[in-house]
Amino acid sequence: MTYRWLLPDHIEDLFPESAWCLEGARRLLLDTLRGRGYQLVIPPLVEFVESLAVEAGQELGPLTFSLVDPLSGRQLGLRSDMTLQAARIDAHGMNHQGVNRLCYAGAVVHTHPEAPTRSREPFQVGAELYGVVGLEGDLEILNLLLACLEQLGLKEVRVDVGQVALFRRMVEQAGLNRSQTAQVTEILQQRDVPSLKRWAHALPAPWNWRFSALGELNGSPGQVLEAARQALAGWADLESMLAPLDAVQQHLPAHTALSFDLAELHGVHYHSGLVFAVYCPGFAEAVARGGRYDDIGESFGQARPAVGFSLDLKALLPRLKTFQ
């Protein structure tokens, strides 16, 4: 028997109470972003699949529904993330040369949930900053994200910051091949320290003990920076890799709960510098993520410094009851 009212797993209706909560939060965030100089863009729900898979495709690909365009015969994809779409708009649609601040809000669709309690149709809100190199842009986006979360009533948060550039530089200088890189990336993402040590044992010194140390370089900022300087001693690029982390520690508001994690590789295939995740009591998963992804716009005709964040308003609904 067919039950016509059934919805697919992890797909849901929003009834009036939840719908008004989400809409109120959306309006508040967009007003906040507009007040900070961010311009609203509305990317399409579908694009040619290759546009949705540029650079980030190794991670976005499995989340993206695909279909055939009856007009062109080409393969289309339902957007699973709006970051790449915003980068395309900046690099090609607007062809911007200077600093450009864009924001967006809308539904995206995933082939599978990113976590057991998450929807396959998140409502994504995000902001992207183009044309600002390095720490200045990173700090603007981090502080903007914290301001947005505070507007939503999420004040007791912890910011976890990683440095993808450090891992990528180690991989490059150690001469790892594609297979080795995939192996160590998977091990670090699984937080499997014993397997990491076994894997690194086959590497020549000093890279064997340097990679072995990565799995344990997480915790309070001072502790991680000190441990990294000991574990990675002698590496010529170490201080330049740690400097952005040191600056984040100094420039974020003093009351911000902060931790560092040098094994955080979320978005490693396209992020190029600092990455961050924000955690909040009552949520098992990060409530927001972001980071630097310089030059991703090159695939759309113009390489640009870029950094941004996004969050899923649907995932935050349990804490948004005040926005009815």
The binding site for L-histidine comprises 81-83, 124, 128
Q: What gap in Å lies between CA 319 and CA 315, rounded to an integer? A: 9
Which residue positions form the known binding site?
81-83, 124, 128
Which tokens belong to 207?
């890279």
- Contact between 307 and 137 under an 8 Å Cβ cutoff? The reply is yes
- Contact between 96 and 88 under an 8 Å Cβ cutoff? The reply is no
Residue reference for tokens 């059934």: 6
